[in-house]
Amino acid sequence: MKIAFLVRGEKTKSAFADASLPDGVLRKIGTYKADGGDLYFIDFSISGETLSNARKLASFREGLPSGDDVRTLRDEASAKFCDLLYPHFCRFEKGLREAITIAMCAEQGNFDDEHVVELEERLSLEALYNVLFVDSQFVKDVRNLTKGNFTREKLQEGLGKLNERLLWDVLFGTEDMPTLRENRIYIKDRRNDVMHYHKITEDVFDSTRGLMKTVNAEIGQYLNRVRDDISYPKAKAGDAKMAAKMISESYADMLEGVRSSIDVSSLADLSDFSRIVAESVDSNAMSSLSRLAVNAGNSGISQAAQKIVNQQAIGLSSSVTKALASFQTSMPKIDLGVSSAMQRAIESLGAPQGAATTSLANLFSGATDNYRNLMPDDAFDQIKLAASTSMDFSAGLGIGTALSQAMKNDNDDASDEARD
Can you tell me the distance from the alpha carbon of 165 to that of 133, in angstroms, rounded to the nearest whole number? 9
Question: Which residues, other chains included, contact 233 with Cβ-Cβ below 8 Å and sequence gap of 6+?
Answer: 105, 106, 108
For residue 45, pLDDT over 90 is answered with yes
Can you tell me the distance from the alpha carbon of 82 to that of 192, in angstroms, rounded to the nearest whole number? 10
Q: In 3-state terms, what secondary structure has residue 332? A: coil
Residues 88 and 232 in one domain: yes
Can you tell me the distance from the alpha carbon of 322 to that of 309, in angstroms, rounded to the nearest whole number? 12
Residues 280 and 363 in one domain: yes
pLDDT value of position 411: 57
Can you tell me the distance from the alpha carbon of 370 to that of 77, in angstroms, rounded to the nearest whole number? 45
Can you tell me the distance from the alpha carbon of 125 to that of 189, in angstroms, rounded to the nearest whole number? 11
Residues 97 and 236 in one domain: yes
Q: For residue 43, which phi and psi values (nearest 5 degrees)?
A: -115, 145
Residue 408's pLDDT band, with cuts at 50, 70 and 90, is: low
How crowded is residue 366: how many other Cβ atoms within 10 Å of its Cβ? Answer: 13
Q: Is residue 328 part of a domain?
A: yes
Q: Is residue 414 part of a domain?
A: no
Residue 156's pLDDT band, with cuts at 50, 70 and 90, is: confident
Residues 266 and 246 in one domain: no
> Of 23, 45, 68, which closes a domain?
68
Which one has a higher pLDDT value, 59 or 328?
Answer: 59
Residue 417's pLDDT band, with cuts at 50, 70 and 90, is: low
Residues 117 and 192 in one domain: yes
Whole-number CA gyration radius for the chain: 27
Q: Is residue 399 part of a domain?
A: no
Which one has a higher pLDDT value, 121 or 147?
Answer: 147
**Mean pLDDT throughout 183-188?**
95
Residues 101 and 26 in one domain: no
Residues 278 and 348 in one domain: yes
For residue 121, pLDDT over 80 is answered with no
Which segment, 114-128, 160-174, 242-256, 282-296, is predicted with the most confidence on average? 160-174
Q: Is residue 410 part of a domain?
A: no
**Mean pLDDT throughout 261-282?**
43
**Contact present, 399 and 87 (Cβ < 8 Å):** no
Which one has a higher pLDDT value, 329 or 157?
Answer: 157
Q: For residue 281, which phi and psi values (nearest 5 degrees)?
A: -115, 125
pLDDT value of position 239: 87
Q: Is residue 58 part of a domain?
A: yes
pLDDT value of position 72: 96
Per residue in 62-95, pLDDT tens? 999 999 999 999 999 999 999 999 999 999 999 9
Query: Where do runs of H (alpha helix) occur along 122-201?
Result: 125-133, 136-145, 152-161, 167-171, 178-182, 184-195
Q: Is residue 286 part of a domain?
A: yes
* Full residue range of the structural domain in which residue 288 is found: 262-375
Residues 166 and 184 in one domain: yes
**Contact present, 323 and 258 (Cβ < 8 Å):** yes
| Torsion region of 138: left, alpha or beta (phi above 0 gives left; psi -120 to 50 gives alpha) | alpha
pLDDT value of position 38: 87
Q: How many domains does the chain have?
A: 3
pLDDT value of position 113: 80
**Mean pLDDT throughout 15-28?**
96
Give strand pairing partners of 72: 5
> Of 355, 375, 395, which closes a domain?
375
pLDDT value of position 244: 84
Which segment, 17-31, 234-248, 297-311, is predicted with the most confidence on average? 17-31
Residue 267's pLDDT band, with cuts at 50, 70 and 90, is: very low
Residues 30 and 122 in one domain: no
The mean predicted confidence, pLDDT, of the chain is 73
User: Residue 27: which H helix or E strand, with range?
Assistant: strand 26-34
Nearest to 344 by CA among 324, 366, 373, 322: 366
pLDDT value of position 47: 96
Residues 352 and 203 in one domain: no
Residue 418's pLDDT band, with cuts at 50, 70 and 90, is: low
Residues 368 and 345 in one domain: yes
Report the alpha-carbon angle 220-225-226, nearest 5. 105
Name the percent of the chain lying above pLDDT 70: 58
- Per DSSP bridges, beta strands 37-45 and 2-8 are antiparallel
Q: Is residue 386 part of a domain?
A: no
**Contact present, 41 and 4 (Cβ < 8 Å):** yes
**Mean pLDDT throughout 312-323?**
46
Residue 142's pLDDT band, with cuts at 50, 70 and 90, is: confident
Q: Give Cα 369 to chain centroid, integer Å.
A: 24
Residues 125 and 270 in one domain: no
User: How does DSSP assign 359-407, residue by residue?
Assistant: HHHHHHHHHHHHHGGGS-TTHHHHHHHHHHTTS-TTTTT-HHHHHHHHH
> Of 253, 275, 295, which closes a domain?
253
User: Residue 43: which H helix or E strand, with range?
Assistant: strand 37-45
For residue 313, pLDDT over 50 is answered with no
